[in-house]
């Protein structure tokens, strides 16, 4: 059974100032999404599912429907705030999406095989797709042997502003905890994050999650239980979000699943700020010149 790639592409990019997931960064006008799908195909994935915002649906499909036709099975689902478990009521004035955990759940009707989850605006690299594709290909739908591709913190920072990262604790190759750290920056004294208004130093070789997960369909059932409880507690909130690491931590703590931490030799990079685009273009140019990617991915 070939695994599926689930791409979270519903973000609008408030810090970026536009819809960054469709920005052209490759020599033939490719976006970061194109490289992720290309890497997934050669890693043996059989389907890609895009979770998108209704506001960008028309524009998004205009780009990727023709581009990926005949290359891989492609499905689009919308992340809408009213897509919640039956019987629950939420604040109808809320505009902000419910977060990455909810974005995964909206795809539950179209994903029926082990699947990987990634962000649309992050470049993960060929090797990362190979290692998680191999892991997922050995699973059946009821398995709870999940996975995460980990990266070194020092390889995931932006030179143009602060970032948030999921800081991981690992024991015997398995994830034991992931904690969201915000406002992470390089300082004169090393790398630090902000907590309670103060900067706290953190080792540059700390393993972090870049939201590259591997699950089976069993995850949908488990996650929906947690999401139902989350909505009951936050139905009136305008900003609270339901994140994938929250679900993962609960599953680990309750011993309902384990998460294997997979190592990748690739260096992550992505677009958080407008200034990151030029760096991304340059790095992709280097990878193209090294013959890791063709000049035109889909030619």
DSSP 17-28: TS-GGG---STT
- Whole-angstrom CA distances from 175 to 15, 124, 127, 254, 264 are 30, 19, 20, 13, 15
CA distance 179 to 125: 24
| For residue 18, pLDDT beyond 60 | no
State the residue for tokens 């998680």.
132
pLDDT band at 16 (very low <50, low <70, confident <90, very high): very low
Which pLDDT belongs to residue 17?
Answer: 45
* Residue 125 or residue 270, greater confidence: 125
Whether residue 73 lies inside any domain: the answer is yes
Would you give the DSSP letter of residue 41?
A: H
The dihedral built from the CA positions of residue 50, 54, 59 and 61, taken in this order, carries a sign that is positive
Whether residue 187 lies inside any domain: the answer is yes
- The H or E element containing residue 163 is strand 163-171
Mean pLDDT (whole number) for 215-222: 97
Specify the number of domains making up the chain: 1
**Domain span holding position 103:** 4-289
Strands 73-78 and 47-52, bridge-based pairing? parallel
CATH number of the domain encompassing residue 76: 3.90.550.10
Whether residue 294 lies inside any domain: the answer is no
- Whole-number average pLDDT of the chain: 92
Mean pLDDT (whole number) for 14-43: 84
Which tokens in the block code for residue 185? 């920056």
| For residue 131, pLDDT beyond 90 | yes
- Whole-angstrom CA distances from 155 to 15, 67, 123, 204, 207 are 21, 31, 12, 8, 10
* Residue 161 or residue 43, greater confidence: 43
Which pLDDT belongs to residue 261?
Answer: 97
pLDDT, one tens digit per residue, over 49-105 is: 999 999 899 999 999 999 999 999 999 999 998 888 888 888 888 888 899 999 999
Whether residue 299 lies inside any domain: the answer is no
State the residue for tokens 């994903």.
111
Determine the 3-state secondary structure of 6 from DSSP.
Answer: strand
């Amino acid at each position: 059974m070939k695994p599926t790639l689930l791409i979270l592409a519903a973000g609008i990019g408030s810090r970026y100032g536009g819809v960054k997931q469709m920005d052209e960064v490759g020599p033939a006008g490719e976006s970061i999404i194109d490289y992720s799908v290309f890497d997934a195909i050669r890693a043996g994935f059989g389907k890609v599912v895009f979770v998108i915002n209704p506001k960008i649906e028309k524009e998004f499909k205009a780009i990727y429907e023709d581009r990926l036709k005949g290359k891989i099975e492609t499905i689009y689902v919308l992340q809408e705030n009213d897509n919640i478990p039956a019987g629950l009521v939420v604040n109808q004035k809320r505009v902000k999406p419910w977060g990455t955990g909810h974005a995964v759940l909206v795809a539950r009707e179209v994903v029926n095989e082990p699947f990987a989850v990634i962000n649309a605006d992050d470049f993960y690299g060929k090797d990362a797709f190979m290692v998680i594709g191999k892991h997922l290909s050995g699973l059946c739908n009821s398995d709870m042997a999940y996975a995460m591709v980990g990266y070194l913190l020092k390889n995931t920072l932006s030179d143009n502003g602060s970032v948030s990262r999921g800081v991981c604790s690992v024991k015997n190759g398995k994830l034991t905890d992931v904690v969201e750290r915000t406002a992470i920056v390089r300082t004169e004294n090393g790398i630090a994050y902000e907590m309670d208004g103060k900067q706290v130093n953190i080792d540059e070789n700390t393993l972090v999650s870049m939201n590259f997960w591997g699950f089976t369909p069993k995850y949908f059932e488990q996650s929906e239980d947690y999401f139902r409880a989350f909505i009951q507690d936050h139905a009136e909130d305008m900003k609270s979000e339901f994140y994938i690491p929250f679900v993962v931590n609960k599953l680990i703590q309750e011993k309902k699943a384990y998460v294997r931490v997979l190592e990748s030799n690739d260096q992550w990079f992505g677009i958080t700020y407008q200034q990151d685009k030029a760096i991304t273009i340059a790095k992709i140019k280097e990878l193209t010149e090294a013959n890791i990617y063709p000049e035109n991915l889909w030619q």
